[in-house]
Structure 1
Amino acid sequence: MSDSRTVGKLLVNAQQVLEGAGIANAVQEARWLLAYALEMKHHELASRAEQSVTAEQLARVLSLVRRRESREPLQYILGSQEFCGLDFSVTPAVLIPRPETELLIQETLREGGFTGGAVLVDVGTGSGCVAVTLATILGGMRIFALDCSHDAVSVAKGNAERHGVSDKIVWLEGDLLSPLKECSVAGAVDAIISNPPYIAEADWVGLQPEVRDYEPRQALLAGPKGTEFHERLIHDSKQFLVPGGLLVMELGQGQAPLVRRVAEAAGGYTGIQTVKDEAGIERVLIARRACEGPSHG
């Protein structure tokens, strides 16, 4: 690519490099990278195809294309990812928001029926995409966003500020729901929402390089079964949820039957259901805190 001195030639060569690296959407990704590196609008890449680039611009393009060639996620290179129509800053400290996680938002809103003063908890907030999105939609709520990573919470706070909802979210650091124990919200939470780690140890090696080699391991890897965090959330959420309160969790492919059985065996929940994503995968589990009756475990 070092001899490519016009925008058009750079674009063609970038596409070829990415195709050679096995990037599925090489044509579009090359456009995104060049537009970002050259500080152009996408349509300008065509209208300015014959424009020469400076040595500095060439070096910048080469650097970004090489990063993507090594399978670094495009979102980390560009520093952002869209989620529910909002733009979120992302760094290697946080999991890149996925389209399927938008289902968590949709189902929480559909099932919630929240009134003013309701308490919502986002467990494993990462980039803050769930908490921030809910804060932009719902008014008068108390939202807690929890994560065990200080760096992730820093990114999430930045995204809250970016979207003007900093004053609507309380940020807490710690393991799953443990930070809530100091917040006097036992039995007072209307919804606990989580996209927890759910990759089983045996599946780690087979993940895409973008995921396995670049995204935060602690945000992905759950343990031998892949459902360890779901099981903990099912047991630990009972002490915090109000009667009728929601537990809404994202699931990995094929995990729904096991997680449903765990929820049923735990007791204290009713209306357990799963929701399929656009690919037909049971992606979200919803359970309501039982209004009465014994709680086991």
Structure 2
Amino acid sequence: MVGEFTINTLLQKGIDILGEGDYFNPLLDAQLLLCHVLNVDKLYIYTHKNDKIDVEYVDKFLNLIEKRKERYPLQYILGKQEFMGLDFYVEEGVLIPRPDTEILIEKVIEIVNEGYFKEKEVINIIDIGTGSGAISLSLVHYIKNAFVYSVDISDIPIKVASINAERLGLTDKIKFLKGDLFFPLKDLGLYNKIDIIVSNPPYIPSREISGLQKEVSEFEPRLALDGGEDGLYFYRKITDDSLDYLSNDGILAYEIGHDQGKEVEKLLSEKDIFKCTEIVKDLAGHDRVVIGYKK
């Protein structure tokens, strides 16, 4: 049944509702939610603004607007997030891929393209913390001779990342493993055979999580955020365990919090196997990635 709302008037109602909350971009979110409900693009909304909308779509749109007003992440509602030029399916239970993490991917790709592993027929990679598969799948998409062992402790990330691997046609270049850190890898014969260990581990100090924006603190998985008392717990664990797996010219690459560069670099420098370390800044000039090189 056709309702009283046109595309334009319904969009304005959504903007008004979102504008009542503590939120900064009601126009964009209302547009994206309406496109999602109607299964159209933005151009359609602009060029059909006077079209009447069926009541069922009106109700669905307003329900999603109310959900978003409560700061439920837009990416979970839409079921997707773009990352490294690829479209990833996401749902509640996985960390939403962020642009900051692209700095990590770009740096690893740069190292490979500069010939650091030029003698390798296959570049073996371990990704600790699968999440949506954004890191693992971006690496095997852009590094054609890469194979990734991707590990996560939770069921939902393994499920979501497997869906993304299927969608991207990359299932033959990745193996997903469920378990805690390196434990699922111990019987695979990978000791001293891994060229790159990469991770965006939980790095928020426990006490700071409640102060994050509501979308993150209330809806994203705490397991993917909580880095212990000082935020460095997983950097210590992964660094220690990585020594058993890295090849003679292997590298360890981390995403870090903006104020953790020196501390994480020190963790790597204290291990004799890393001959040099590097801190990479993001576009805002903040420390974002730390690399340890064995060669």
TM band (smaller chain): over 0.9
Give the AA of the match of 1:203: E
**RMSD between aligned alpha carbons?**
1.3
Deviations 1:220-275 (A, max 9, x none): 11111011101111111011001120100000121111111222223321211110
Task: Report the Cα distance in structure 1 between the residues aligned to 2:106 and 2:46, rounded to whole angstroms.
Answer: 38
Give the AA of the match of 2:197: I
Match of 1:285 in 2: 290
Q: CA deviation at 1:4?
A: 6.0
Q: Which moved more, 1:131-140 or 1:279-288?
A: 131-140
Answer whether contact 2:109 2:143 (CA < 8 A) is retained.
no
Q: TM-score, normalised by structure 1?
A: 0.94
Task: Report the Cα distance in structure 2 between the residues aligned to 1:107 and 1:214, rounded to whole angstroms.
Answer: 30
Match of 1:194 in 2: 199
Which of 224, 228, 232 is the matching residue for 2:237? 232
SS of residue paired to 1:269: coil
SS of residue paired to 2:52: coil
1:9-158 aligned at under 5 Å gives the runs 9-112=9-112, 113-114=116-117, 115-158=120-163
Aligned length: 288
Answer whether contact 2:276 2:293 (CA < 8 A) is retained.
yes
Moved over 4 A (4+): none
Task: Report the Cα distance in structure 2 between the residues aligned to 1:4 and 1:101, rounded to whole angstroms.
Answer: 44
Q: Which moved more, 1:109-118 or 1:31-40?
A: 109-118
Answer whether contact 1:4 1:10 (CA < 8 A) is retained.
no
Q: Which moved more, 1:256-265 or 1:202-211?
A: 256-265
Give the AA of the match of 1:82: E
Q: CA deviation at 1:81?
A: 0.1
Match of 1:294 in 2: none
SS of residue paired to 1:43: helix
Deviations 1:167-208 (A, max 9, x none): 110111111122111110100100001000001012111100
Does 2:171 match 1:166? yes
Q: TM-score, normalised by structure 2?
A: 0.94
Match of 1:268 in 2: 273
Q: Which moved more, 1:99-108 or 1:260-269?
A: 260-269
Identity %: 36
Q: CA deviation at 1:215?
A: 0.4
Deviations 1:106-154 (A, max 9, x none): 1111123333222111110110011111111222332111111111101
1:176-255 aligned at under 5 Å gives the runs 176-255=181-260
Task: Report the Cα distance in structure 2 between the residues aligned to 1:140 and 1:277, rounded to whole angstroms.
Answer: 27
Deviations 1:38-59 (A, max 9, x none): 1221111122111111110111
Task: Report the Cα distance in structure 2 between the residues aligned to 1:43 and 1:204, rounded to whole angstroms.
Answer: 39
Answer whether contact 2:76 2:91 (CA < 8 A) is retained.
yes
Q: CA deviation at 1:66?
A: 0.9
Task: Report the Cα distance in structure 1 between the residues aligned to 2:163 and 2:156, rounded to whole angstroms.
Answer: 11
